Chains A and B, each alone.
Chain A
Amino acid sequence: MELKAKLKEFICSTLGVEADVLEYDTALFGDSPIGLDSVDSLEIISYVDGEYGVDMTGVGKEHFQSIDTIAAYIEANK
């Protein structure tokens, strides 16, 4: 499965987000309808580390903005 599709699948199945409102460029955190928070980011960090061997601990917020930005970070740091 493509990287972004896998990230989306993870966010929907683990973090309870409904697939029909989640596009690759949808804002994930803050006041967005998705509304991920720091606890969710821990799950994403753990998943990305386990799946792709990329450690996102302490990485700037801008990389967590959307599936696009997370995927870009993974690609750049694999």
Chain B
Amino acid sequence: MTDNKTRCVITGLGMISAIGDNVAQCWESVLGSVSGIDHTTTVDTKDCYSDYAAEVRSKGWDSMPETEGMDRVSKLCIKAVAEAMEDSSLEDFKGDSRVSVIMGSCVGGVVSAEKYYTVKKDPALIPQMPISAIASQAAAWCHAGGAVTNVANACAAGTISIAYAADLIRAGKADIVVAGGADAFASVPFAGFTSLHALDANPCSPFNHLSGITLGEGAGALIVESYEHAVRRGAKIYCEVLGSGVTSDAHHITAPRPDGECQMNAIRTAIESSGLTEADIGYVNAHGTGTAKNDEAEFLSLHTIFDGKNDDLSVSSTKAMTGHCLGAAGAVEAVFAVKALTENTVPPTLGFDEADLVTLKERAGKLDFCPNTPRKKELNTVMSNSFAFGGNNASIVFSKQQGNVKAAGEKKRVAITGLGIVTPAGNGTEKYIEQCRRNSIRLEADMRSNVGKEEYDKLGLKMAFYRKLDHFSQLQCVSGMYALKDGSYEITPENAAQTGIIVGSSEGSLSPVCDFEMLIAEKGNANGSAFKFPNTVYNAAGGYLSICSGIKGYNVTATNGAQSGLFSVAYAMDVIRAGKQKAMLATGTDENNEIIRELYSGLGLAADEPVEPYSGREQFSLSDGSVSLLLEEENAAKERGAKIYAYAVGSGAASCGVKFGTLSGSGEALDKAIRAALEDAALRPEDISAVVGFANGHSAVDAIEKSSLKRVFKEAVLGLPVISVKNRLGEARAASAALGAAHAALLLNGDITCEEAYFFGDDDKMFVYNTDSRKLERILVISYGSGGSYSAVVISR
């Protein structure tokens, strides 16, 4: 049985969707087989072949205090979070660093992007656009003080966020995680799915007509809590969160693998890591979108896994009621799965007439798809599945019973064995080392990375593949493949499923989103581009990397501001330490182009001349790039004779929510992140021989870094070298954060020996001296996220 320390439970539920403003209303709709799908009135449907959507049509829910000016998606999220907290008898968290917020989303603040490009270019809309804003705003709203991030894995995002929440708790990094997902209905997803001909011309009918999806919107929030914490505070416990499985298809950017291999791996991993068998599952809340490709792959997976092993399995798709809520789908459906479990009621799949029922019988075999009306059934254990664009699959198990989830055991050591570096100054680790040695990179006001045929040929990437990539995905694929090459890590049938990816990005695919929005604003929603739309999902880059590398394991795109490229390292460490994967690519990628520059200029942040760190300005040099680190469990790395640059020995994250788009006032959270990383590595401040900082020349950013280092390192701060990667390469957000970790590894491995570093002077000024990196033993790498969240990672020889 799962030991009490490892047990994770659900103690609160919240949701909003087309069928209700809260859990009670939504569940009543489920019991009444009510669908929320109707003709949309909020987006232009001229010349579009379908005009159906499942929108939140009720009024008044969006006027919650302290949410003014936020995008609709953040308001949906906070509405569900507020309900879940109340349901769990939780009040304001008052900055508690043991409370995290993890939210899934697919399209983020597209309503704000639409307003920006169709109504007025109001700078206030800009910070509301990226997915990054959602969890940050939710955390600031409830004053959660732990790790804050968004999982941007399209339609699997909500499920992954809950899986990650349980993993964080089991790793001892949180007591409570507010997890879930949110997405708003808007022109971008509507026109996008229209262009793909993926919308059903009628209300969708999953596992039935196989003629397409109907888009929905909403949010789901679950309070995921350590069992012991829940018991201590006397919380009501709905159920246990048992195991989960997260995999990637390595197949196609929009279509699932027809053979269902990686879907099945996700489902099997979820069952096995729960310590259960197929026969234990009573109900599956299926992904069931209604498209032929999804539903056929899912029929195949369910039959292959459960036929002959479970003759009493109920399966349904609640999307016929809520529509496809994209990044919120997994969260909304997890709430339904938990309600199904605790109410002993299987939700229905709507839309079957007499003739359909005959066809269903043939397709379903012994599986009960619960057509049209809910059904009472004694349930002990349920599962929720989500499959996404980008080829991401996620499955999670909830149960009334303890299951048999294995404790994490001793922390595994994580080695850094490969680096892939793409910067505006050039591509490849060797080139970067050479440039650092010669000190030949010159900072410019506006810096942009380029990859092209030369890199593709070197990496064996074919035109049939790379022609599809947008710039963001190009940067990511090249740096990821370079890291595998640098680490001599070949993906084989044996290790493909044991290798994963965490992509970190601040703005992710915001630029393709804006580009798509401009296209449909000009040509109408009927004339979006099927070629461009898949690249608007933030996890496209991670999906492409899975396709070109063959990686079939964990695949998550995490977005929480500039720190994303360092948070990804921390996240990947957690995955390896938990024994879920043997190796992980942790990346940081962000792009700079005309769209991104316009947005940063609109915020007054993009400088017209080079800006060095600590120069007291209000702007920075906007840059970009992609950096990937190959992390491996130490023994696995040694077994294959890998070169080891250094070790990632500790990580920490914390937040102090301030207005999204700002940082000031949140500095103490950086102290907490650093202290947490030191504690995780069992080190003291005096064990740290240098810091790779995040100062970019903007006075508010630099002041946070300086004051925090002074508080943590006290008088020792005077001799502490603070190394920068932004003094040469500008502010490349997630790419800078990941480069900070890569740079630390190169220093510790002796690839770069002499380094210009900043030192604190008596009067708070920073001075540049050369420092001999051979004396460095352990380097602390830090980064920040807009809205006041921070990451810290310790890299050691």
Q: Which residues of A are interface residues toward B (Cβ below 8 A)?
A: 14-18, 21, 32-35, 37-40, 42-43, 46, 50
Contacts and interface: CB of A to CB of B under 8 A. Distances in A.
A3 B634 CA distance: 59
Nearest to A17: B467
Nearest to B468: A16
A14 B463 contact: no
Interface string B161-203: 0000000000000000000000000000000000111000000
A23 B253 CA distance: 26
Contact of B255 (A38, A42, A46, A50): A38
A37 B252 contact: yes
Contacts of B380: none
B464 interface: yes
Interface of B: 195-197, 252-255, 462-469, 527, 529-531, 534
Nearest to A21: B463
Nearest to A38: B255
A39 B467 contact: no
B530 A35 contact: no
Interface centre among A14, A33, A35 (most CB of B within 10 A): A35
Contacts of A37: 252
B530 A42 contact: yes
Given A18-B463, A37-B252, 15 more contacts: A15-B467, A16-B466, A16-B467, A16-B468, A33-B463, A35-B462, A35-B464, A35-B465, A35-B467, A39-B531, A43-B529, A43-B531, A46-B195, A46-B530, A50-B527
Contacts of B466: 16
Interface centre among A14, A21, A34, A37 (most CB of B within 10 A): A37
Nearest to A40: B531
B532 to A, nearest CB: 9
A39 B463 contact: no
Contacts of B465: 35
A58 B253 CA distance: 22
Contacts of B252: 37
A35 B253 CA distance: 14
B534 A35 contact: no
A43 to B, nearest CB: 5
Contacts of A17: 463, 467
Given A15-B467, A17-B467, A46-B527, A39 B534 contact: yes
Contacts of A38: 255
Contact of B462 (A16, A33, A39, A46): A33
B195 A42 contact: yes
Contacts of B464: 32-35
A21 B463 CA distance: 10
Nearest to B253: A39
Contact of A35 (B196, B197, B463): B463
B196 A39 contact: yes
B462 A14 contact: no
A39 B465 CA distance: 13
A51 B252 CA distance: 29
A67 to B, nearest CB: 16
25 contacts: A14-B529, A15-B531, A16-B463, A16-B467, A16-B469, A17-B467, A32-B464, A33-B463, A33-B464, A34-B463, A35-B462, A35-B464, A35-B465, A35-B467, A39-B196, A39-B254, A39-B531, A39-B534, A40-B530, A42-B196, A42-B197, A43-B529, A46-B195, A46-B530, A50-B527
A15 to B, nearest CB: 6
Contacts of A21: 463
Contacts of A42: 195-197, 530
A68 B373 CA distance: 53
A17 B468 CA distance: 9
Nearest to B195: A42
B201 to A, nearest CB: 13
A59 to B, nearest CB: 14
Nearest to B467: A16
Contacts of B253: 39
Nearest to B293: A38
B477 to A, nearest CB: 14
Contacts of B255: 38
Contacts of B527: 46, 50
A30 B531 CA distance: 17
A38 B255 CA distance: 10
A38 to B, nearest CB: 7
A33 B534 CA distance: 21
A46 B531 CA distance: 11
B72 to A, nearest CB: 28
Contacts of A16: 463, 466-469
A18 to B, nearest CB: 6
B433 to A, nearest CB: 32
